[in-house]
A and B are shown apart, each in its own frame.
Chain A
């Protein structure tokens, strides 16, 4: 454990958040079969 540096922890955090954001973005952009949502009239 002594070999872990702050730099490595930062790298782990940044990578994790980046891939999480990618997964969420892909989910959000996923084809929805043309669902049409009226919201307000």
Chain B
């Protein structure tokens, strides 16, 4: 009799407050499940491509030179071609491009760690820098090292929205049988706008170039040689940015003195947009970088 009485009271309480109980428990369960299943990271990222390339061209007994940085490195340097050029100069090293779209200089140690985890012996890194690399206001969320500090849905809200929007657009094009606009065609204007929107209200203090010194120092203390290159940016885009010179001055001030500075020495027809080179620019930068690196590595 007494137990029934208690059960009835509990049930009565639950009937009044079922939302409070159910919603919080369901929310916790869903968050736990999402954290374990991690659906957003089941999509291939540039990191997966970079690691697949390492598996395709294993270093074997050679040590490796890594090209690290953001998408400007990812699309701007041909690692395989560079490896061939270094080989021809008598330097037997594997060269891998681990430049990852949307990362900043804070992601560089993670990029290197991801490769070392594969058992590759890293002897040197070539750090590609541009304005985007110093911009730590925007965190890339698609890489596994994004440090989640709030519920899954909330933390990855931008990524969710982007994925949903993209899939809706894709579905729309599939239903209406119209071709999707690709990234390459006609998007230069858009990306120039993106560059301006990102930097026109930016002052040097918004950018974290001063952190590069610490990163280079910690790499050096781990026995990894560091080479810094200031990547080319499209003069057609940078000319539209009023404080470009000021931002670049701040960037150069924090760079080591022995860097390769090709920031302003490429012509507009070598670019896809402001920061990304096309095929011609890629070949140009790869050659310049390989020559410079050969001299530096032979001098050692």
A and B assemble together: yes
**B10 to chain A: closest residue by CB:** A1
Bound complex: CA of A27 vs CA of B195, how far in Å?
Answer: 28
Q: Say whether B159 contacts A36, CB under 8 Å.
A: no
Let me know if A19 and B23 touch, CB within 8 A. yes
Q: Are the CB atoms of B161 and A28 closer together than 8 Å? A: yes
Q: By the criterion of a CB under 8 Å from any partner CB, how many residues of chain A are at the interface?
A: 23
Docked-complex contact B23 and A16, CB < 8 angstroms? yes
Interface pair A38/B18, CB less than 8 Å apart: no
Q: How many A-B residue pairs have CB under 8 A?
A: 77
Complex contact B74–A35 (CB within 8 A): no
CB-defined contacts of A30 to chain B, threshold 8 Å: 154, 157
Q: Which residues of A contact B175 (CB under 8 A)?
A: none
Instruction: Give chain A residues whose Cβ lies under 8 Å from the Cβ of B194.
Output: 36
B residues 1-33 in Cβ contact with A at 8 Å = 7-8, 11, 15, 18-19, 22-23, 26-27, 30
Contact B141 A1 (CB under 8 A): no
- Expressed in whole angstroms, the minimum distance between the Cβ of B5 and any Cβ of chain A is 11
| Chain B interfacial residues counted at CB < 8 A | 36
Smallest beta-carbon distance A34→chain B, Å: 8
B289 at the interface (CB under 8 A from A): no
A12 touches B154 (CB 8 A): no
Instruction: Tell whether A20 pairs with B23 under 8 Å between CB atoms, given A37-B138, A40-B101, A41-B71.
Output: yes
Interface 0/1 of B267-282, CB less than 8 Å to A: 0000000001000000
Query: Using Cβ atoms and an 8 Å threshold, which residues of chain A touch B161?
Result: 28-29
A16-B18 contact given A30-B157, A39-B142, A40-B101, CB 8 Å threshold: yes
Q: Is A20 touching B157 in the complex (CB atoms < 8 A)?
A: no
Are B139's CB and A35's CB within 8 A?
A: yes
CB of A22, distance to nearest CB on chain B (Å):
9
A residues within 8 A CB of B71?
38, 41
**Contact flags (1/0) for B62-106 with A, using CB distance below 8 Å?**
000000000100110000000000000000000000000110000
**A16/B101 in contact, CB under 8 A:** no
A–B Cβ pairs within 8 angstroms, 10 of them: A1-B11, A15-B22, A16-B26, A24-B27, A28-B154, A29-B161, A37-B142, A38-B101, A38-B102, A39-B45
Having A15-B19, A27-B154, A40-B46, one finds 20 other A-B pairs with CB under 8 Å, namely A12-B15, A16-B18, A19-B23, A20-B22, A24-B27, A24-B30, A27-B157, A28-B160, A28-B161, A29-B157, A30-B157, A35-B158, A36-B198, A37-B138, A37-B140, A37-B142, A38-B101, A40-B183, A41-B46, A41-B183
- Chain A residues in the interface with B (C-beta under 8 A): 1, 4, 8, 12, 15-17, 19-20, 23-24, 27-30, 32, 35-41
